[in-house]
A and B are shown apart, each in its own frame.
Chain A
Amino acid sequence: MDKVTRLVSEKGIVIFSKSSCCMCYAVIILFKELGVKPLVHEIDEDPEGREIEKALMRLGCNAPVPAVFIGGTLVGSTNEVMSLHLKG
Chain B
Amino acid sequence: MNSPSAQFVTSRRIGVYDPIHQIGMWGENFKSNSNLNASASLIVEDVKLDSQSQDASHGTEGPSNQYDQEATKPTDKVQRRLAQNREAARKSRLRKKAYVQQLETSRLKLIQLEQELERARQQGLYIGGGLDAGHLGFSGTVNSGITTFEMEYGHWMEEQNRQICDLRNALNAHITDIELRMLVESGMNHYFELFRMKATATKADVFYMMSGMWKTSAERFFLWIGGVRPSQLLKVLGPQLNPMTKQQSLDVLNLEHSCQQAEDALSQGMERLQQTLADTVAAGQLSEGSCNRQMTNAMEKLEALRTFVGQADHVRKETLQQMLHILTIRQAARGLLALGEYFQRLRALSSLWATRPREPA
Q: A: which residues have CB within 8 A of B? A: 20-23, 25-27, 29-30, 33-34, 63, 78-79, 82-83, 85-88
Contact with A along B226-266 (1 / 0, CB 8 A): 00000000000000000000000001001100110110111
Asked if residues B265 and A22 are in contact (CB atoms below 8 Å), the reply is: no
* CB–CB A82/B261 < 8 A: no
Contact: A82 with B276, CB < 8 Å? no
Among A23, A33, A83, residue most surrounded by chain B Cβ atoms (within 10 Å): A23
Contacts A/B (CB < 8 Å), 16 sampled: A22-B272, A22-B273, A25-B268, A26-B265, A26-B268, A27-B265, A33-B264, A34-B261, A63-B307, A78-B314, A83-B314, A83-B318, A86-B318, A86-B319, A88-B251, A88-B254
Give B209 Cβ to nearest chain A Cβ, in Å. Answer: 16
Cβ contact within 8 Å between B269 and A25: yes
- When distances are taken between beta carbons in the complex, the residues of chain B under 8 Å from A22 are 269-270, 272-273, 276, 304, 308
* Chain A residues, Cβ within 8 Å of B296: none
Mask, B304-321, CB within 8 Å of A = 1, is: 100110010011001100
Cβ–Cβ < 8 Å partners of B262 in chain A: 30, 82, 85-86
Q: A29 vs B273: C-alpha distance in the bound complex, in angstroms?
A: 14
Decide yes or no whether B322 CB sits under 8 A from chain A. yes
Q: How far is the CB of A29 from chain B (nearest CB, A)?
A: 4
Report the bound CA distance from A21 to B304 in whole Å. 8
With A30-B261, A86-B255, A86-B315 as given contacts, are A23 and B268 in contact (CB-CB < 8 Å)?
A: no
Interface residues of B (CB under 8 A from A): 251, 254-255, 258-259, 261-262, 264-266, 268-270, 272-273, 276, 304, 307-308, 311, 314-315, 318-319, 322
Residue B311 contacts which of A29, A33, A82 (CB distance < 8 angstroms)?
Answer: A82
- B255 contacts across to A, CB distance below 8 A: 86, 88
5 more A-B residue pairs beyond the given contacts A23-B308, A29-B264, with a C-beta to C-beta distance below 8 A: A26-B268, A30-B262, A33-B261, A63-B307, A85-B261
> B318 and A82: CB pair below 8 A?
yes
B315-A29 in contact (CB<8A): no
Q: Identify A79's interface contact among B268, B304, B308, B314, CB under 8 A.
A: B314
Contact residues in B for A88 (Cβ distance below 8 Å): 251, 254-255, 258
Closest to B311 in A: A78
Q: How far is the CA of A33 from the CA of B260 in the complex (A)?
A: 10
Query: B269 is contacted by which of A26, A83, A85, A86 (Cβ under 8 Å)?
Result: A26
Q: Is B307 within 8 A of A23, CB to CB?
A: yes
> What's the minimum C-beta distance from A68 to chain B, rounded to whole angstroms?
13
The distance in angstroms between the C-alpha atoms of A47 and B254, with both chains bound, is 42
Chain B nearest CB, measured from A88 CB (Å) = 6
How long is the Cα–Cα vector from A29 to B262 in the complex, in angstroms? 9
Q: Name A82's contact: one of B251, B264, B273, B315 (CB within 8 Å).
A: B315
Chain B residues with CB under 8 Å of A21's CB are 304
Contacts of B276 in A (CB 8 A): 20, 22
Q: A85-B258, A86-B259, A87-B322 in contact; A26/B315 too (CB < 8 A)?
A: no
